[in-house]
């Protein structure tokens, strides 16, 4: 396969986007300065169904508790500590996946998929995207990161580029998560806090979700077809960030060895356990990380690797995504500073005030904008729901919206902005695994983000008009 790595021309990209660590550090410093300027305020918390939520009628100002500059950086350590479970899960899943990749199992699985689909690359990509979309609608998010090396290998084998491979796994995951009808982390939590029946208004939600999926699939597959027809339009080039190029003809002819067949079964079993563990045994990130660590070690033994090679592969894999994984804890430090400075509630309170001044027909769009802004500071679906829904739900009553519409605005604002904000650690990890610069990714995904926001905004206006319920 011909390498067509596109090198940017001097001055062709305009303003240079800073490194993602620099962006997050700027946000951290801004949050720290805000603790000296913004009045400290808090809502009282009450326990509802075993969960601490805000009492929206109790906001009051308190004595200022500014966070000193030294503690801004202490908050980075606090953020890393609080995020260690998810960071470890990502490191170990990537490390274990590289063991399977090094054994040749993943490449031959890709060849088998291509052979079964008789070389119809769009069918292969569409089938994989559907799988990721369904899982994303249920709440899977970071769990698809280990698939990125495989989808990149598939994309390159089909004559497409690295961005296509990244998009196959990442974009349907993010888009489906954004308005997943049965997303356990956002819709279930938000509806529960708002007092709505969990998973209510399902028909309307599924309809909007399907439209979003059509737009998403069209965007990704259209780009894949354009790149295959004209490699010069690629934004990333065709150099595999983790392994050598794949000869698609030879790949389809190769047969798996006995070891590789066993490894394929082990890999599928690991993926299956990853899917059912959270549902059957209430697994969290720590348990999933441990699962992949065990799977990777055993896979290395089955592949015939000695301990030095197993450790070397895993160490190199972890080092390759270090920048992105650290961003998860780094980004969390922003909300840690705001919380320690007792201004997080003040920010939420201030953002909610303008909604009371908007016509009811535009209030839903106002909520969407506010939730999008808040997600920059709290890039956690369930966390943002716990902070904002106790405010937004009763606020919806005041401005003439249904609480179901408020939940919809929250979910769209939280989910869609995950695709473009650098404080979303998982986003940085996805593009870090593919070694795609944030600036290139941002420019590529921005049109899709805009289209999905339009779909979401139209959905909100319809929900406002029909008074989407039950209340």
pTM score over 0.85: no
Question: Is 382 within a domain?
Answer: yes
Judge whether 424 lies within some domain.
yes
Residue 471's Cβ-count burial label (10 Å; 0-12, 13-18, 19+) is middle
Crossing angle for the helix pair 20-37 and 360-377, to the nearest 10 degrees: 110
The yes-or-no verdict on residue 243 having pLDDT over 60 is: no
The chain-wide mean pLDDT, for the chain, equals 82
Q: Higher confidence at residue 456 or residue 94?
A: 456
Nearest to 144 by CA among 288, 244, 260: 288
Whether residue 316 has pLDDT greater than 60: yes
Q: Let me know: does 300 contact 105? Beta carbons within 8 Å.
A: no
Higher-confidence residue of 38 and 385: namely: 38
Q: Categorize the per-residue pLDDT at 433 as very low, low, confident or very high, splitting at 50, 70 and 90.
A: confident
- Which of 165-169, 250-254, 366-370, 434-438 has the weakest average pLDDT? 250-254
For residue 218, what pLDDT is reported?
Answer: 96
* Three-state secondary-structure class, residue 48: strand
Confidence of residue 226 (pLDDT cuts 50, 70, 90): very high
The answer to whether residue 2 is domain-embedded is no
Q: Express each pLDDT in 74-124 by its tens digit.
A: 999 998 888 788 788 778 888 888 898 888 876 677 667 667 766 677 888
Classify residue 169: in a domain, yes or no.
yes
Does residue 252 lie in a domain region?
yes
What's the mean pLDDT in 450-461? 94
- Is 36 within a domain? no
Mean pLDDT on 174-195: 80
154-158, 221-225, 408-412: lowest mean pLDDT where? 154-158
Per-residue confidence at 10, pLDDT binned at 50, 70, 90?
very low
DSSP 38: S
Q: Higher confidence at residue 426 or residue 368?
A: 368
pLDDT digits (tens, 9 = 90+) for 197-223: 877 888 899 999 999 999 999 999 999
The answer for residues whose C-beta is within 8 angstroms of residue 2's C-beta and 6 or more apart is 231, 238
Q: How many CB atoms lie within 10 A of CB 217?
A: 19
Instruction: Tell me what pLDDT residue 4 has.
Output: 36
Which contiguous run of DSSP H or E holds residue 47? strand 45-48
Which of 99, 130, 195 lies closest to 389 in space, CA to CA? 195
pLDDT of residue 27: 82
Round to whole Å and give the CA distance between 65 and 349.
18
Dist CA 413 CA 370 (whole Å): 8
Residue 283: pLDDT above 70?
Answer: yes
pLDDT of residue 9 exceeding 50 = no
DSSP letter, residue 60: E
Nearest to 88 by CA among 381, 316, 375, 293: 293
Q: Is residue 15 part of a domain?
A: no
| Ranges 7-11, 118-122, 308-312, 347-351: which has the least confidence | 7-11
Q: Which structural domain range is residue 207 located in? A: 43-57+67-466
Evaluate whether residue 120 is within a structural domain.
yes
Give CA–CA dist 427/420, Å, rounded: 8
Per-residue pLDDT reduced to its tens digit, 325-335 = 787 778 778 87
From the centroid of its chain, how far is CA 107?
25
Domain count, the chain: 1
pLDDT band, very low/low/confident/very high, at 16 (cuts 50, 70, 90): low
Tell me what pLDDT residue 72 has: 94
| φ/ψ of residue 197, rounded to 5 | -60, 130
- Average the pLDDT over each of 144-148, 336-340, 445-449 and give the range with the smallest value: 144-148
């Amino acid at each position: 396969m011909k390498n067509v790595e596109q090198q940017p021309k001097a001055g062709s990209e305009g303003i240079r986007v800073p490194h993602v660590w620099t962006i997050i550090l700027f946000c951290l410093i801004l949050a720290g300065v805000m603790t000296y300027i913004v009045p400290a305020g808090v809502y009282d918390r009450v326990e509802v169904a075993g969960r601490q939520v805000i009492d929206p009628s109790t906001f009051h100002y308190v004595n200022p508790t500014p966070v000193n500059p030294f503690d801004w950086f202490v908050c980075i350590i606090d953020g890393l500590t609080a995020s260690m479970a998810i960071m470890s899960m990502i490191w170990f899943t990537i490390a274990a996946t590289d063991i399977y990749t090094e054994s040749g199992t993943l490449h031959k699985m890709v060849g088998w998929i291509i052979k079964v689909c008789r070389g119809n690359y769009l069918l292969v990509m569409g089938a994989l995207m559907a799988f990721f979309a369904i899982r994303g609608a249920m709440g899977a998010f970071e769990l698809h990161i280990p698939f990125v090396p495989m989808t990149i290998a598939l994309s390159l084998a089909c004559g497409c580029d690295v961005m296509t491979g990244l998009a196959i796994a990442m974009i349907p995951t993010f888009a489906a998560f954004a308005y997943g009808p049965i997303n356990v982390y956002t819709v279930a939590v938000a509806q529960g806090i708002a007092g709505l029946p969990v998973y209510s208004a399902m028909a309307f939600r599924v309809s909007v979700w399907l439209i979003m999926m059509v737009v998403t699939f069209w965007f990704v597959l259209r780009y894949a077809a354009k790149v295959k027809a004209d490699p010069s339009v690629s934004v990333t080039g065709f150099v595999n960030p983790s392994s050598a190029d794949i000869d698609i003809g030879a790949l389809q002819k190769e047969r798996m060895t006995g070891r590789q067949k066993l490894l394929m079964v082990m890999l599928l079993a690991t993926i299956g356990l990853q899917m059912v563990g959270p549902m059957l045994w209430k697994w969290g990130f720590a348990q999933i990380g441990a699962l992949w660590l065990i799977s990777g070690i055993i896979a290395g033994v089955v592949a015939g690797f000695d301990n030095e090679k197993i450790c070397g592969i895993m160490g190199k894999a972890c080092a390759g995504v270090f920048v992105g994984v650290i961003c998860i804890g780094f980004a969390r430090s922003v909300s840690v500073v705001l919380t320690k400075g007792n201004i997080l509630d003040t920010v939420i309170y201030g953002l909610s005030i303008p909604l009371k001044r908007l016509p009811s027909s535009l209030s839903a769009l106002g909520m969407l904008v506010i939730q999008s802004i808040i997600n920059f500071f709290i890039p956690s679906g369930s966390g943002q729901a716990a902070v904002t829904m106790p405010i937004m739900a009763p606020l919806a009553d005041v401005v003439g919206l249904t609480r179901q519409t408020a939940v919809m605005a929250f979910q769209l604002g939280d989910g869609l902005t995950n695709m473009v904000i650098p404080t979303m650690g998982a986003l940085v990890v996805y593009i870090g695994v593919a070694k795609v610069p944030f600036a290139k990714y941002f420019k590529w995904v921005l049109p899709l983000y805009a289209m999905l926001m339009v779909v979401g905004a139209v959905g909100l206006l319809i929900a406002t008009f029909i008074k989407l319920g039950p209340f």
